[in-house]
Amino acid sequence: MSILSVYIISDSLGETGEQVAKAAISQFELDDYDIKRFPYVLNLKLLSEILKEASNESNAVLFYTLVDKEFIEYIKDFTAESGLIAVDLLSPLIAAIRESTHLEPAREPGTIRKLDEAYFKRVEAIEFAVKYDDGKDPRGLSKADVVILGISRTSKTPLSMYLANKNIKVANVPLVPESVPPKEIYEVPAKRVIGLTNSPTKLNEIREERLKALGLPKGSSYASMERILDEIDYAEKIMKKIGCPIIDVSNKAIEETAELIISILKRNGIKVFKD
């Protein structure tokens, strides 16, 4: 028996077709086979050349994942005349979903690649948020879509991660009276900076709970009202110097604050919302 030649034709990368082909081949005691993948087949001339090559093989099978009806019909006509064995991997699935949802398919080549790109952009934004969380590296401030400033317990990190999941690159910087803020925060355009604040009472409650969770005694200056008022005053002076908007998060859920930030960025002409 001659070597099995498996042809994979796709209007995108062809990875799906190749994985399906390998899954099918694994069901046979077949060591002698060759998989030839042809990605981004977007014109009939190239398609025709591949089909002719496959039909000249003595033992070939064709798997294809195409959405263009003209291309699919072309393959059907060619295989009917040549006897080449071909399997349409995508059309039955599209037809099943169409029947179930009563929606019409877009039939746009490469859409899975676009979904993959969106996924990787989201991963990149999440990695960015982790890397530049809590002022770890001021060099990231110039690369961020938005920089979030605030004192402790104003939800900087949860907000950063929430926005990162919407493909927005966020860096956040804690403002502490004992520490001089990085000079880079004054170099970022004010329209890319958001300040966060919270009510003294709410901060007192949150910090008391934080101390309890850490097993630390009550009465720490961290949760004292005097300390909190000093921190709020210090942070607001910096935010006003920068000229950035300040959001009071005391009665807002993370999602609500995030939407406010997104709307501010959009209003400032910053196109970052890529979800």
CA distance 224 to 204: 7
Both tokens of 92, joined, read 């039955």
pLDDT at 156 (0 to 100)? 96
pLDDT at 233 (0 to 100)? 97
Q: What are the φ and ψ backbone dihedral angles of 149, each rounded to 5 degrees?
A: -115, 150
Instruction: Indicate the pTM of the whole model.
Output: 0.63
Cβ 166 vs Cβ 118: under 8 Å: no
pLDDT at 3 (0 to 100)? 87
CA distance 90 to 67: 7
CA distance 261 to 269: 13
Cβ 153 vs Cβ 117: under 8 Å: no
Convert 33-76 into a string of H (helix), E (strand) and C (coil): EEEEEECCCCCHHHHHHHHHHHHCCCCEEEEEECCCHHHHHHHH
pLDDT at 39 (0 to 100)? 92
pLDDT at 253 (0 to 100)? 94
DSSP state string for the chain: -PPEEEEEEESS--HHHHHHHHHHHTTS----EEEEEE----SHHHHHHHHHHHHTSSSEEEEEE---HHHHHHHHHHHHHH--EEEESSHHHHHHHHHHH-PPP---TTHHHHHHHHHHHHHHHHHHHHHTGGGS-GGGGGG-SEEEEE-TTS-HHHHHHHHHTTT--EEEEE--TTSPPPGGGGTS-GGGEEEEE--HHHHHHHHHHHHHHTTPPTT-GGG-HHHHHHHHHHHHHHHHHHT--EEE-TT--HHHHHHHHHHHHHHTT------
pLDDT at 212 (0 to 100)? 86
Q: How many Cα atoms occupy the beta-carbon half-sphere of 227 within 13 Å?
A: 14
CA distance 94 to 103: 10
Cβ 85 vs Cβ 57: under 8 Å: no
pLDDT by residue (tens digit) across 128-148?
Answer: 999 999 999 999 999 999 999
Residue ranges for the chain with pLDDT beneath 70:
1, 110-116, 272-275
Q: Which of 159, 158, 232 is nearest to 194 (CA)?
A: 159
pLDDT at 224 (0 to 100)? 93
